[in-house]
Amino acid sequence: MLASFDALKKILRRLPGIGYRSAERMALYLLLEGREQAQELIRGLSSSLDALQMCSLCGNLAEAERCSICSDPARDSSLLCLVETIPDLYAIERSGDFRGRYQVLGGKLSPIRGVLPQNLPLAHLRHRLEQEKTREVILALGGDTESEATCQYILREILQPLGKEVTRIGFGLPSGSGIALADADTLHTAILARRKL
């Protein structure tokens, strides 16, 4: 009926997590009540596209060829933290404890969803590890099966052959939470990960 409206819905629908109804609702909002906000979105998106790119070294968002972490000489280049996504990287930065560098994988191995080793930047990771004086690699992927398989694969195919020290982030009870509310898997992991006091 309205060609430009249909085209806009189609574009919005291809965004991650947006279905048909959300796309329609968003398009109507932007064209009716939110017209000013739509102009802001156009301006904000244009200037972000101009200002930001992917860091050529670690895959983080960057304002130049290298991101602020990779180009910060105060960061410890002997520590490399592997994360799945940029929001994971931000979460670790917010925790304030990590002073090393990152490599964003951009995904995890999943034969079912068609993500194979060649779809992850593993050749790039191997190259970095050969070039940089990395002492320890921290595997900061989640606790699901696909993340576990990805860690195992990277360990066996890349990190062990290069003889790097490898650690995996700790798993167990989330800080501030109670025993009775934890699920069985979490408690299982927490008991396995018990430490001597």
Residues lying near a second copy in the complex (CB under 8 A) are found at: 1-2, 4-5, 7-8, 11-12, 14-18, 21-22, 24-32, 34-35, 37-42, 44-49, 51-54, 61, 63, 68, 85-87
Helix axes 20-31, 35-51, angle to 10 degrees: 110
Minimum CB distance to a second copy smaller for 23 or for 129: 23
Residue 38 or residue 187: which is nearer to a second copy going by CB? Answer: 38
Task: Give CA angle at 86 (158, 132), nearest 5°.
Answer: 40
CB closer to a second copy, 51 vs 191? 51
In the complex, minimum distance from the CB of residue 11 to a second copy, in angstroms, rounded to a whole number: 5
The least CB distance from residue 69 to a second copy, in Å, is: 10
Residues paired with 104 in a beta bridge: 83
- One DSSP character per residue, 20-39 reads HHHHHHHHHHHHTTTHHHHH
Could you count the other beta carbons within 10 Å of the beta carbon of residue 17? 5
- What is the Cα–Cα distance from 158 to 126, expressed in whole angstroms? 6
The nearer residue to a second copy, 8 or 129, going by C-beta atoms, is 8
Nearest approach in angstroms of CB 31 to a second copy is 5
In angstroms, what is the minimal distance from the CB of 6 to a second copy?
10
Q: What is the dihedral of CA 45, 48, 49, 55, to 10 degrees?
A: -140
Residues 6+ away with beta carbon under 8 Å from 89 = 60, 81, 83, 102, 104
Least distance between a second copy and beta carbon 68 (Å): 7
Choice between 95 and 131, CB closer to a second copy: 95
Q: How far is the CB of 46 from a second copy (least distance, A)?
A: 6
5 phi/psi in degrees, rounded to 5 = -70, -45
Residue with tokens 């690699």, as numbered in its chain = 137
Nearer of residues 18 and 173 to a second copy, judged by Cβ: 18
